[in-house]
Amino acid sequence: MDTQYLKLTVEDKLATVTIHRPEKRNSISPDVLVEIEGLFNEISARDDVSVVILTGGEKYFCSGFDLNYIRTLEKSSNEDYIRLFHRAYRAILFCSQPVIAAVGGPAIAGGFDLTMMCDIRYASTRAKFGQREIALSLTPIMDPLWRIIGLGRAKEVALTGRIYDGEEAEKMGYVSKVFPEGQMLEEVTKIAKTMATYDKTCLKETKMLSNTTLNMDINTSMTQQEWLFRTYIGSEDNHKRVDALLDSLKK
């Protein structure tokens, strides 16, 4: 699809989606949401993409809601916007491929929510995170936040509206790793390119499994995991990868 605020590159089964609205610090307008929903739905159906990076570059990620637009909304005229917001969120959360957030700068309020919808989060030392909705008399998103960092910590993030730096976000388990400023995107791309060499269907099934096991009792979860493992072990691709590993160990 043609986009104005999102840039897409695809190389070696890796899609990189870059939010590009620098004059507004990559803030979220309705047009941005429409593009997010459409582009991620399109990527989800592509056979040539195994992994996705969502980023705003090394300076910003997304500063949150476009407040000038938010200010125009009334209770009687906000339904379409709210539905659009959540359709865009779901397009990322339920994208077939694993989605990695590469956060080079502030990810605040709606921008924080975008990172929450991703499967893995990496940050630079320049990154900032915060759910500022409570400070604007808005209710923040708790799920999937509590699934990522636990209910107690999620309550702190949501109720205080505090801003956290990358190091704090890493300590609470929200961010997997923090890279030096200016090096984040390069390092995350290396990780994503390695992931993109793996079996695409296996990546997809593993993502689906991680999203569903929390809602299962442990016996059902173990049965599901056993069934999936049995599906892949002994496959042609499994044999090829085992042979390649055994050959590398001989060297």
Q: Assign residue 96 the CATH number of its domain.
A: 3.90.226.10
Q: Give the model's pLDDT for residue 76.
A: 67
70 domain residue, yes or no:
yes
Cβ atoms within 10 Å of 91's Cβ, excluding its own: 21
Give yes or no: residues 214 and 178 share one domain.
no
215 domain residue, yes or no:
yes
| Residue pLDDT, tens place only, 53-84 | 999 999 999 999 888 887 887 776 677 878 99
Chain length of the chain: 251
| Residue pLDDT, tens place only, 232-245 | 889 898 999 999 99
Q: Give the model's pLDDT for residue 123.
A: 98
Q: Which domain holds residue 130?
A: 6-196
Give yes or no: residues 63 and 91 share one domain.
yes
Contact (CB, 8 A) for 108 and 64: yes
Give yes or no: residues 208 and 147 share one domain.
no
Q: Give the model's pLDDT for residue 180.
A: 97
Contact (CB, 8 A) for 132 and 65: no
CA-CA distance, 190 to 212, in Å (whole number)? 28
CA-CA distance, 165 to 176, in Å (whole number)? 13
Give yes or no: residues 218 and 113 share one domain.
no
**Strand ordering across the sheet containing 177-179:** 6-11, 14-19, 51-55, 99-103, 120-124, 177-179
How high is the mean pLDDT in each 10-residue block of the chain (251 residues)?
95 97 92 97 98 96 88 77 91 98 97 98 98 93 96 97 97 98 97 97 94 90 90 90 90 79
85: buried, middle or exposed (CB in 10 Å: 19+, 13-18, 0-12)? buried
Tokens read off for 100: 């990695």
Q: Give the model's pLDDT for residue 66.
A: 85
Domain count, the chain: 2
1 domain residue, yes or no:
no
- Amino acid present at 214: L
